Amino acid sequence: MPALRLRDQEIAENLHARHRFQLFGIDEIAIVGERAGVAEQLQEAAVLEKAKAEAAETLASIKAKVAQEAQDARRLLKESAESLSADICEKVLGRSL
C-alpha cells in the first residue's frame, strides 16, 4: 500500500475555519479527555499525599506512645527489682537493711 500523501486524504465538505483541530486531524474529545485525566491524576496525587501525611502523623503518635509505655515499664521493673533484691537480702542476712 503506497504512503498516503496530502492530496490522497479526504477533507470534510463542510469544513469551517473554526474547526482547526478537524483540519489537522486532531480529535478534540481526546484533548479534553486528556485534560480531565491530568486533573484526575493531580487530584489523586493530592489525596495520596494527604493520606501519606496522615499516616506519618499516626505513626509518629504510635511511636511516642510505645516509647512512653516502654519507659514506664522500665521504671516499674527497676522498682520491682530493687524491692525484690531488698527482700532477698533480708532473708539471706536474717535482718532488715
Q: What is the pTM of this model?
A: 0.48
Give me the pLDDT at residue 19, please. 56
Q: Who has greater pLDDT, 23 or 75?
A: 75
Q: Report the pLDDT averaged over residues 71-97.
A: 92
pLDDT at 23 over 80: no
Q: Cα dist. 64→15, 30, 58, 68, 71 in Å?
A: 69, 50, 10, 6, 11
Residue with cell 486528556: 34
**pLDDT interval class at 55 (50, 70, 90):** very high
Count how many Cα atoms sit within 13 Å of the Cα of residue 81 in the half-sphere of its side chain. Answer: 6
pLDDT at 24 over 70: no
Neighbours of 9 (CB within 10 A): 8
Q: What is the Cα–Cα distance from 97 to 78, expressed in whole angstroms?
A: 18
Give me the pLDDT at residue 69, please. 97
